[in-house]
Each structure stands twice: as C-alpha cells, then as structure tokens.
C-alpha cells in the first residue's frame, strides 16, 4: 500500500507564496504524482514530483486527491 505524507496540508495564505512537498512510501519507486480528483486553488500547481506550489489567488476550502 502506498501512503502519502502529509495527510493534511498546511493552510495557505491568500497572496503569499506557498510550497509543500508530498512524499510517498510503500509500493515501488520511483513515484510519479498526479491529481486524481478535485481542483487546486487558483494560483497553485502540482508537479509530477509531488510539489504543490504557487501563490493562492482566491480564498476558500479546496478538496483534491493525489
């Protein structure tokens, strides 16, 4: 089974740069990350290397799955 960390992401601040790495354990590396469902907050992007980064442009709660 593959486990992702952190299970809950730290809150982002509107208009402030944000960066968070998501890491995997278990399964068979190397890992390639992708969104499977939901939408990122406007201004953020998610890389296949597991980095969520950018500057949030809208307030709110956003749910997405990796």
11-55: pLDDT as tens digits: 999 999 999 999 999 999 999 999 999 999 999 999 999 999 999
The pLDDT, as a whole number, for residue 53 is 98
Q: What is the pTM of this model?
A: 0.89
Q: 57: how many CB neighbours lie within 10 A of its CB?
A: 11
Q: What are the pLDDT digits (tens) for 13-23?
A: 999 999 999 99
DSSP-assigned letters across all residues of 48-62: TTSEEEE---S-S--
Count of residues making up the chain: 66
SS3 state at 45: strand
């Amino acid at each position: 089974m593959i486990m992702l960390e952190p299970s809950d992401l730290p809150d982002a601040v509107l208009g402030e740069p944000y960066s968070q790495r998501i890491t995997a354990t278990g399964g068979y590396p190397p890992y390639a990350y992708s969104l499977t469902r939901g939408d990122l907050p406007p201004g953020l992007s998610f890389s296949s290397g597991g980095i969520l980064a950018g500057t949030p442009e809208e307030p709110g709660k956003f749910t997405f799955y990796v």
